[in-house]
């Protein structure tokens, strides 16, 4: 599948460049800034503007890439019936939310890759569960083709199953994305299993961002 190969090419290109250069630049500004390495994540050498998208949140309201502006946002792709990756990653996001004090400066967005079953009603019920209820998670759903297009553009692997059967397993990436207040993809967390390290990385990025804005 061509989109599958493009996705992995993008992710590995980002990782290789970031590891070799190790420098975070803000759209070419402050290129003389000191090197910065993260504990748990990988910084994009140049933050990438988020692609356009238009989905529906669990309350039935329209949510576009513009809603990512003016705060830091963690993005994660998954589905509510996922047996392992999603529950664990969502628990990590809940712990991050607790550690940052439910800050209005930080958001958490879950985009389903199973829109057939993850309706707004299902997302509302899912995020009302005790492990996630206090994390202020926003769940998004939409057209299957639009969601697959976004995962492709962001380099996130999700098996091409537009209409999976009930209970079907969907292979997908567990990568966590971090978007800055300008709506630009800033960092990737390939194995988001350490909330303490991710919070430290987030605070470092927020501090660096404030220095130049």
Range of the domain at 100: 2-211
Look at 134 and 204; give whichever has higher pLDDT: 204
pLDDT > 80? residue 41 = yes
**pLDDT tens-place string over residues 45-68:** 999 999 999 999 999 999 999 999
> Which pLDDT score, from 0 to 100, does residue 104 have?
84
- Cβ contacts of residue 189 below 8 Å, gap of 6+? 40, 41, 42, 175, 176, 177, 178, 198, 201
CATH code assigned at 62: 3.40.30.10
**pLDDT, mean of residues 20-37:** 44
**pLDDT, mean of residues 31-45:** 73
What is the number of structural domains in the chain?
1
**pLDDT, mean of residues 121-128:** 96
**pLDDT tens-place string over residues 161-203:** 544 445 578 888 899 999 999 999 999 999 889 999 999 999 9
**Percent of the residues in the chain that have a pLDDT greater than 90, as a whole number:** 64
Please give the mean pLDDT across all residues of the chain. Answer: 83
The answer for 101, left when phi > 0, alpha when psi is -120 to 50, beta otherwise, is left
> Which pLDDT score, from 0 to 100, does residue 132 have?
87
**pLDDT tens-place string over residues 8-27:** 444 545 444 444 444 333 34
pTM score, two decimals?
0.80
């Amino acid at each position: 599948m061509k989109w599958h190969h493009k996705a992995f090419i993008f992710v590995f290109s980002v990782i290789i460049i970031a590891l070799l250069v190790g420098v975070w630049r803000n759209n070419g500004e402050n290129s003389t800034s000191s090197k910065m390495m993260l504990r748990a994540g990988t910084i994009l050498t140049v933050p990438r503007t988020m692609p356009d998208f238009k989905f529906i949140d669990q309350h039935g309201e329209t949510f576009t890439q513009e809603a990512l502006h003016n705060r830091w946002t963690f993005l994660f792709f998954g589905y509510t019936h996922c047996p392992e990756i999603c529950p664990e990653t969502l628990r990590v996001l809940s712990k991050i939310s607790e550690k940052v004090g439910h800050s209005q400066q930080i958001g958490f967005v879950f985009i389903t890759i199973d829109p057939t079953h993850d309706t707004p009603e299902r997302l509302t019920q899912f995020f009302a569960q005790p492990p996630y209820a206090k994390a202020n998670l926003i769940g998004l759903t939409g057209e299957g083709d639009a969601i697959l297009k976004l995962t492709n553009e962001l380099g996130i692997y999700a098996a091409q199953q537009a209409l999976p059967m009930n209970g079907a397993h969907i292979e997908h990436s567990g990568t966590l994305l971090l978007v800055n207040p300008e709506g630009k993809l800033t960092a990737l967390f390939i194995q988001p299993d350490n909330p303490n390290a991710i919070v430290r990385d987030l605070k470092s990025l927020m501090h660096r961002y404030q220095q130049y804005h």
